[in-house]
Amino acid sequence: MTALFPMFVKLDGRRCVVVGAGSIATQKLEGLLESGADVRIVAPEASGEVQELARCGRVSWLPTEFKSEHLADALLVIAATGNPAVNEIVYRAAQERGVLCNSVDEPERCDFYYPAVVRRGDLQIAISTAGKSPALAQRLRKELEVQFDESYIGWLNWLGKVRELFFLHQVEPGLRTRTLHHIASHTVFERFKSFHKRRIQDGSHG
């Protein structure tokens, strides 16, 4: 098997199609919506949650059977019908149109996989086993969630602000690189976390 290419994709405003509107499809919607994707759902019937999302304008729902033309202008499609025969039709249509396809729980019909993700603000750690063991990916996610706690949210925001300052001012590139790598070290992180912990404690006593 050819190695997968890991990447984080900007989906804001991009058309993403989900075929199916039951519990399987619903599980795949959160990440698409958080990314600002233009989500189109194709399914004759839909769960109450999907119908509510459509009423609120967060997704567009086409209450019909899937057709190849539903992939027009789409970047990717999720085949989440729970029906292998229908998923095969979606996959073949995607291949013909050059649209990336993920057929849920069917690795052989996937151009990409949903990773297990640890999210700490703008920090995202994605784990993939190329569909071989989602259970392992989930176990690793839980372990990493302990290692990378909520402190990383504030720290990453601080790192971003410091980096902006360095690029706003005329700082020698070598010095800038060395400094930015230093402040991203675990030692500085521990100092940052300790400082903010003391501030919280001082505030609680104030």
Per the model's pLDDT, the better-predicted residue between 145 and 2 turns out to be: 145
Question: Would you tell me the crossing angle of helices 48-55 and 23-34 to the nearest 10 degrees?
Answer: 30
Tell me the pLDDT tens digit for each residue of 10-24: 999 999 999 999 999
Domain extent listing, the chain: 15-113, 115-149, 151-205
Tell me the pLDDT tens digit for each residue of 38-72: 999 999 999 999 999 999 999 999 999 999 999 99
CATH number for the region 115-149 comes to 3.30.160
Fold of the CATH domain 15-113: Rossmann fold (3.40.50)
Helices in the chain by DSSP H: which ranges? 23-34, 48-55, 84-97, 134-147, 151-168, 173-183, 186-205
